[in-house]
Structure 1
Amino acid sequence: MSEPSRRTVLIAAGAASTGLWAAAAPGAAAAEPPRPAGPGAADNPVVRENRAEGSGRWAVGAGESRGVDLRAPQIQAYASAASVTPDESLTLNVSGRTAATCAIEIHRFGHYGGARSRLLHTAADVPVGRGWKLTVPHTWVSGLHLAVLTSADGYRAFTPFVVREPARRSDVLAVVPLSYAGRRPYPGLGLPEDFGADTSACQWLEEAGYDVTYATEEDVRARRVDPRRYPAVLHPSAVALPSPLALSEPGRTDPKVRHQAAALLDGLIGRHR
């Protein structure tokens, strides 16, 4: 992650092996506060969002789907932008080689009582070989989202994107390394290499009840989001909380590392209140 500002520095949470990085004012110490954050620690848009019913139907295998051929995907798509704000439009450029139509579902990652995602939108019989346009509802909360494409013959691939809310000054800004600058899908299933770490990080943040908004590295570089406005800035791909913390195992986290991460974030947030 590029340096957010000359007036911010990157500090580590606990031992370097945790891999959790946050931005704080120069000279700020990573002192441990009296308590770590916990689920329901505060009422904020993220806590309210995670009260909604979750869904696991995005995964490969759900609904008798199967993953695409990793070398020659039967269906794939890239987004017109890596991030959008509510009320903006996003176009998925869908291509395929085995079926004329596909279904598209949009999921948001979080905790959702352990379900890990929430189904937000569905579209059936989407033509393959052209763009599919989505206008993001103003009610959608900032987060890491996933377009799930399932071809008519059952092959499944993914296109991730971020919904950002730059006008909302949350306690935590999570910066995701996601880009479609090359105007092509990510290889294989369509997911970036560190997507499992990104989703596990956001699930942990939202389970803990933090008020977090999301942006991409491109958003920071283009100044669509100003990291100086936030008490803590995280780069989710650098979060190791700890191994094994894979997309399929978000709950297997060392309690000590959880406490270290929460202690740092609580300290940073507390100093800005």
Structure 2
Amino acid sequence: MGSERVRRWESGALAHAVTDPFGQGPLPWLRGSELYFDDTGRMVPWYVDTPPSAGATSPRATATATAPRIPAPRSSDDGPWPRSADDVHCQIKGYASTGSVAPGEAIDFHVTVNPPQQFSVDVYHIGHYNGDGATKITSSPRLSGMSQLPPLAADRTVSCHHWWLSWRLPIPSYWSSGAYVAVLTTVDGHRSHIPFTVRATAPADLLLVLPDVTWQAYNLFPEDGRTGASLYHAWDEDGRLLGEADAATTVSFDRPYAGSGLPLHIGHAYDVIRWAERYGYDLACADARDLHAGRIDPTRYRGLIFPGHDEYWSVPMRRTVELARDQGTSLVFLSANTMYWQVELGPSPTGAPHRLLTCRKRKGPGKPVLWREIDRPEQEVLGIQYAGRVPDPHPLIVRNAGHWLWEGTGAGEGDSIEGLVAGEADRYFPRAPLPDHQDRILLAHSPYIDEAGVLRHQDTSLYRAPSGALVFASGTFAWSPALDRPGHADPRIQRATANLLDRICKRE
């Protein structure tokens, strides 16, 4: 096992750059303002990163380069600093006992530390916070860290359900619904993350649904060249990365996320949350498994927002969302390739519900698991559906510029919004059934070149259901980053999205 290969695994590159150029995104939550005391008593910033390449010359790269930066790493003789743990050495890694928790309940963290040493947990609430992106809510005391037993693996399914409890966090009744992240830091300066959600219990105008089912489908933990597996990849005995045919069919939520501990595509949700709070929207949060388990009633909200790549849906998830739409709750899909695979959620070996995710894809006998192959194409909900990958970003071409969605954006008919068709794209399929609707319109129709060099088109869709609910689908991965991602934010997309949410929330 060569050192170059190990460095690739340690970097998280395999877990966090699968198909989406906007998947992880920057995490400038506190811009280096939060400091920790290390074990020598010296103060060090909680998050460090290297500055952008000095050779960056593209408009987007230049915008990123001029944005506020967090401090660069210190030299090795300038003392320790927080640095990301990796899946090879597992300096510190952990997972939460549940994806979402209600105020008044408690969430358990299961953490392994190598070598055993003390660590602490700092909990941050994601939001705008005057541009910081998050604020620290609480901290643990110094905790005794232990090296937990290695992950268990059975038929490519990797689980750490046997890890001992490390810290229990009671959620006070006054905590706001939203996205949170627990930052784990060892005394010798290694860091990892555990995301979780405080789900909605109080009324709100909008409910943002975090796609934790899709996050887990892509999770390759442990990215160690031996054990880790996702629904996309696994390893052979020589440490080579195998493709989908040899990947797992069942993955467990009882394990950390690979790399930094933050899932692929989580940056999309953070972009939407920061922007929505800055614009003053009344926003609550839940995760996809809350829809599956019936822990929330989506008809209590004026609209549901799906902020990022949300590819894997169970039957209860889809049924719940369709029922909400048919009772007047609007739906906003800000990415592409949504509701593509049908999945099942089952209990863990300990009996905890909804902790195993199964999607057989095309492996072995049984019914197809693409929604469109069981005569329930995703276009019946979204108005468009998945068309394919976009290898290089292309412009989004405005269509029907006189529509109220484009009002005040300055966008004219046929105008280009650079880089907005990226990652993956949806389009209208004439042979697939459309949802029942009062009216329907395409608001972008954008050519791009696919992986085979063939000309394709992306569409952005909006329709009004018979209930009066609006259903919007951006048809591209790049819409959410255009709301608040440094180097990608676009005022035309910001205004168009505000026009949409204002209609939904009756703020016009």
Give TM class, smaller chain: 0.7 to 0.9
Residues 1:161 and 2:397 are matched in the alignment? no
Q: Where do 4+ consecutive residues of structure 1 move more than 6 Å? A: none
Residues 1:140 and 2:172 are matched in the alignment? no
Distance 1:116 1:253 in 2: 15
CA RMSD of aligned residues (A): 2.7
Which of the two has higher C-alpha Rg? 2
Q: How far off its partner does 1:197 sit?
A: 1.0
Q: How far off its partner does 1:105 sit?
A: 0.1
Which of structures 1 and 2 has the larger relative contact order (alpha carbons within 8 angstroms, sep 6+)?
1
Q: 2:496 aligns with which of 230, 254, 260?
A: 260
Q: 2:210 aligns with which of 164, 170, 176?
A: 176
Any residues of structure 2 matched to 1:187-198 within 5 Å, and which? 187-198=258-269
Which stretch of the first structure deviates more once superposed, 121-130 or 139-148? 121-130
Distance 1:246 1:214 in 2: 21
- Tell me if the contact between 1:203 and 1:250 (Cα under 8 Å) persists in the aligned partners: no
The answer for the alignment partner of 1:209 in structure 2 is: 280
The one-letter amino acid paired with 1:118 is T
The answer for the alignment partner of 2:257 in structure 1 is: 186
Q: How far off its partner does 1:245 sit?
A: 2.9
The answer for the alignment partner of 1:66 in structure 2 is: 83
Q: How far off its partner does 1:182 sit?
A: 2.8
> What are the superposed Cα offsets for residues 74-122 of structure 1, whole Å, 9 maximum, x if unpaired?
1011001101111110010011212421111000000000011010001
> What are the superposed Cα offsets for residues 167-217 of structure 1, whole Å, 9 maximum, x if unpaired?
x22111000012675311111111110111111111111111100000000
Distance 1:86 1:250 in 2: 32
The answer for the alignment partner of 1:3 in structure 2 is: none
The one-letter amino acid paired with 2:260 is L
Compared CA separation, residues 178 and 249, structure 1 to 2 (3 A): same
What 5-or-longer segments of structure 2 have no aligned partner?
1-28, 35-45, 50-70, 72-79, 147-164, 217-251, 310-333, 336-419, 421-477
Distance 2:303 2:483 in 1: 24
Compared CA separation, residues 213 and 248, structure 1 to 2 (3 A): closer
Distance 1:117 1:66 in 2: 19
Compared CA separation, residues 265 and 249, structure 1 to 2 (3 A): closer
Q: How far off its partner does 1:73 sit?
A: 2.7
Please, what TM-score do these two structures have when normalized by structure 1? 0.72
Q: How far off its partner does 1:229 sit?
A: 1.6
- Tell me if the contact between 2:272 and 2:483 (Cα under 8 Å) persists in the aligned partners: no
Compared CA separation, residues 184 and 247, structure 1 to 2 (3 A): farther
- Tell me if the contact between 1:172 and 1:213 (Cα under 8 Å) persists in the aligned partners: yes
Which stretch of the first structure deviates more once superposed, 214-223 or 262-271? 262-271
Compared CA separation, residues 158 and 218, structure 1 to 2 (3 A): same
- Tell me if the contact between 1:74 and 1:96 (Cα under 8 Å) persists in the aligned partners: yes
Distance 1:170 1:248 in 2: 22
Please, what TM-score do these two structures have when normalized by structure 2? 0.40
Residues 1:233 and 2:304 are matched in the alignment? yes
Q: 1:219 aligns with which of 282, 290, 314?
A: 290
Distance 1:223 1:250 in 2: 36
SS at match of 2:275: helix
Q: How far off its partner does 1:253 sit?
A: 1.1
The answer for the alignment partner of 1:7 in structure 2 is: none
SS at match of 1:108: strand
Q: How far off its partner does 1:69 sit?
A: 2.3
